[in-house]
Structure 1
């Protein structure tokens, strides 16, 4: 059934005297049916929609056989039966209500929440004896969703990364819609493709459209979504909503730190020191990193050296590490070695440089005799001396 054919039953009820705003509690004036004022409520539309004004018209009638007249001070539409609840509309100083007479004030209302809800008409009447009476009357109303509903979610990624943005279209209408087109636009978001289409979207059906989106800012970013479609009557309909797309980065993105780095000298000569660097590339973040490469930075008095000027680590999972080895050539007593780490998180390249300390050999270190080399000649000399002494003793004994 088409939404336009829906109807909301007119609420007709008899409002009873509920309280006294000033003075003691008084009984209602005597009347044949035990009431003094009847109230009915009409709505100007049977399909109120969000953010569109419509009229609610309470009808206050003083019974024909009533023996008292009243002054209607105000009629208000509130969220609940409580006098302090949110007020949607009001009319004041509505005049005198004599027996057999009717007052029908219009209350213009705009509601933002969809679905079934109960509002309350509050009428305040003042008798000529000075006593004030209040009537509270419920009004059941359903605010229809005029279009299929949209919902936006964004994949978590580091700032600047292309990420998936999912826009879900839920057709809560009673009929199918066709020739559906969804378009996104934003001054701060770049979409690889900003439009999606579907032939039909059935009644009660939900469909998710995925967009590739990139934002340079790591924060919530305004985005406008426009849905156009053809309704069952052949009318082209359009719905536009603005969302705050969440492009905030994760709290603990993948990141690479170098740990346990050590430097050893392989050789020293006129061309400088050739050193080997070893350590681990550790991912301290909460997500995987890819394409990790560790390399020696070519600077003054330091250069990458063969056979390992750089090391391709590859992928490092969260809370994991991979070992690496590098070679470098140092000159002029260079004591610092810059090591660059380049890797990718969510498709975005990251780069950091770590300085590794190295203590080159001095001239005294190179002239110092090698202890492991000098121990063998000394031992051989002692053996020769001992052999000479033993030989001399034996020769004397023979004499």
Structure 2
């Protein structure tokens, strides 16, 4: 908007004289010469609704012989008075009066106005002066702006965002936004909204299909009501350079283990410039479909993530197949992963040491969870047999909860009987993945006091190394062997004693 004032050409008024003119006769007394010397308009090109000031310079020429009183100055458009100033002042000989008159216009276009000056000379005679004024009124600049853009390089199927920005300090209401183009199909092209606050903006997303690659224009048009309730319209156009369609998708997958479970996480990424629609994911193993899912559309330059739970998947190679609609055809992308189900929690006895304690033995070791899930309520206990008797203070031991990959120490006490006791049966009970488990393992005794968890109960008894055993409940004792050795010692000792005595008798005879 220009702030410069434009002068209007000076209009001279012919002064007519007469005798005995009554008030309002439209002539000027001979002793005063009043003219409108100039008019300025500020701003020179006002907008609709904007204040515009018309400043008139009124002069009483030096050639006049008397002062002139200005009774009224008015600005009119046709027969309609726009603004009036009453009794603005008196002009002396050679005097000048600058009088501003401010108004506004409700419509645009060229406005042909007339400035009227009414006055009276010193001798009581009246006069009037007319002066033409022309003003060009422009449409009001809208405080509401539109902009169009695509989040990615435009292709034949694109997302177009229209931003509506309300730069006015007040709300606008009854918004109706449309998007159109001569070579484009717009889904849900007309949108309606109740209001938009002053100083705020809103982004409206459109899905647009262009007829083909090339240059294509789009026009957004917004109709709304301003703070005065007047209906207004603003439009914005933009031309897009549309690329040829490209279908390019990538499917990635991996096995994820967490919280005691395993799953396959897959992601489908759209590297092309057209959206992937009606996406379906199939998991196949051994030529059969073991799982399938419906997946949402994948926009341009975006990724959609999917998961398949362990309950649907067998062990071994699993092929994932993603199929989708793109650029008017059906496409698919595949990848393969090697899936291993989660190993349930499993308690194994490790690091067992055996030591004598009074008339019994003490077995100390670790209950180790070698599975991939936690176990709860674990208990180890000595199983009584003909050769093994559980005894206090540790006939059994509550191990409790054992997380995956962890262990808990325990100890048990038992009494052994017989000379061929090689193993101690121990029962292991626990809960894993909601199921109760129980089994008996044979802990083999060794000469060094150590032991190892052997086969489950019922395995054939094996001969171990001599030693240990039932004497005092420790190890294994070969009673027959001991007796034979004692007999041999007695025989040898008796023979030596007999020989010694015989030798003594012979010496006496000499």
Q: TM tier, shorter chain? A: 0.3 to 0.5
Query: Normalization by structure 2: what TM-score?
Result: 0.32
Q: Which has the higher contact order (CA 8 A, sep 6+)?
A: 1
Query: Normalization by structure 1: what TM-score?
Result: 0.39
Structure of larger gyration radius: 2
